[in-house]
């Protein structure tokens, strides 16, 4: 697993309407204070959350206790002794306005309003597979729409803003995308959120796993499917079988040639010899048999 460092800076500001603004990051823990003095008696305190975009209002805390029916969030919400609301493992669904309501009686109450804005960094591929051209997206989740006064930028360790093709900004989503390079190994990049030029929140990311160059040599064994491997094996087996058949054919041909040569050699050893036999007794030569004393014999010599 790649080792990466994520650091979020939580800043607190007060809006023009008196609504307290809180900033944190996805996955972190935040504490929202209830600015009411009630001798730490939270039995009359409630927390209300308005989810952005849904128009839904949830009373997540009633009488100082987390509501049991909120199964989705009950495990991550706790109420402090000072009636503050603690939210663990923040998600984008936790953004938006919160209200701490303190009841004086059945009809009278006092509200303290807060708003939570979250920053999130996500990568286009797993951290261990980042390459040249991989991207990091820094996105702001907030109440309402991103305004022109808000700016999301990536800055390096030297506070130099990423420019050119390295960084693109999507104003309507209040986000910024950083394109990684091989030189970003062990380099810290910080996503900054500013409003009217004033820093509101920052989110830092350090890549400790080397960024793989996009031009690395391709391994021929990679990318082969099971079907391709099966076809290659089949072709190899067919070639081997053909080679074996050729060898067997050649050996049989050579053996037949040797046998024929041996047969020819045996037939070629026939020798003809002339043998003169002495006559049993002398008699008058007969002109018809004068030349009949010569006989021929065939002798086969085996080597």
Q: Work out the average pLDDT over 180-205.
A: 80
Does residue 6 have a pLDDT over 50?
Answer: no
Does residue 55 have a pLDDT over 90?
Answer: no
Cα–Cα dist 220/265, whole Å: 58
State what percent of residues in the chain have pLDDT above 70. Answer: 62
Q: What is residue 220's predicted lDDT score, i.e. its pLDDT? A: 44
Q: What's the whole-model pTM score?
A: 0.60
Q: Work out the average pLDDT over 165-180.
A: 74
Q: What is residue 212's predicted lDDT score, i.e. its pLDDT? A: 58
Q: What is residue 80's predicted lDDT score, i.e. its pLDDT? A: 92
Cα-Cα-Cα-Cα torsion 58, 59, 61, 62, nearest 10 degrees, comes to: -160
Cα–Cα dist 146/138, whole Å: 14
Which range in 61-65, 145-149, 157-161, 248-252 is most confidently predicted, on average pLDDT?
61-65
Residues paired with residue 77 on neighbouring β-strands, in sequence order: 87
Q: Are the C-beta atoms of 166 and 180 separated by less than 8 Å? A: no
Q: What is residue 13's predicted lDDT score, i.e. its pLDDT? A: 42
The neighbour count for residue 169, using CB atoms within 10 Å, is 14
pLDDT confidence bin for 223, thresholds 50/70/90: very low
Q: Are the C-beta atoms of 8 and 119 separated by less than 8 Å? A: yes
Nearest CA among 47, 46, 91 for reference residue 72: 91
Task: Please give the residue that has the higher pLDDT: either 225 or 9.
Answer: 225
Could you tell me which CATH number the domain at 4-207 has?
2.60.40.10
To the nearest whole number, what is the mean pLDDT of the chain?
74
pLDDT tens track for 92-141:
989 999 999 999 888 899 999 999 999 888 887 776 666 677 888 888 89
Cα–Cα dist 87/280, whole Å: 144
The neighbour count for residue 101, using CB atoms within 10 Å, is 19
pLDDT tens track for 263-297:
555 555 555 555 555 554 445 545 444 454 555 55
Phi, psi of 264 (to 5 degrees): -65, -40
């Amino acid at each position: 697993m790649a080792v990466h460092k994520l650091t979020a800076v939580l800043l607190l500001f007060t809006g023009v309407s008196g609504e307290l603004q809180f900033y944190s990051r996805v996955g972190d823990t935040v504490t929202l204070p209830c600015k009411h003095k009630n001798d730490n008696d939270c039995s009359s305190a409630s927390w209300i959350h308005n989810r952005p975009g849904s128009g839904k209002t949830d009373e997540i805390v009633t009488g100082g206790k987390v509501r049991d029916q909120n199964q989705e969030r009950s495990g991550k919400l706790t109420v402090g002794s000072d009636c503050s609301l603690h939210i663990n493992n923040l998600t984008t669904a936790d953004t938006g306005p919160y209200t701490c309501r303190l009841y004086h009686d059945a009809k009278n109450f006092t509200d303290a309003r807060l708003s939570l804005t979250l920053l999130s960094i996500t990568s286009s591929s797993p951290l261990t597979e980042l390459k040249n051209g991989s991207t990091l997206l820094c996105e702001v989740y907030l109440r309402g729409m991103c305004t022109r006064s808000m700016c999301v930028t990536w800055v390096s360790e030297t506070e130099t803003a990423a420019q050119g093709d390295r960084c693109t900004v999507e104003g309507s989503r209040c986000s910024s995308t950083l394109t990684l390079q091989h030189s970003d190994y062990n380099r810290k990049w910080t996503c900054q959120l500013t409003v009217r030029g004033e820093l509101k929140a920052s989110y830092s990311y350090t890549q400790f796993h080397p960024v793989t160059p996009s031009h690395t040599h391709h391994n021929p064994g990679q990318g082969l499917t099971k079907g391709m491997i099966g076809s290659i094996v089949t072709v190899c087996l067919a070639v081997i079988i053909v080679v074996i058949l050729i060898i067997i054919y050649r050996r049989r041909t050579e053996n037949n040639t040797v046998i024929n040569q041996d047969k020819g050699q045996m037939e070629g050893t026939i020798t003809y010899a002339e043998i003169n036999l002495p006559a049993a007794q002398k008699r008058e030569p007969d002109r018809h048999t004068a030349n009949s004393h010569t006989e021929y014999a065939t002798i086969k010599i085996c080597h």
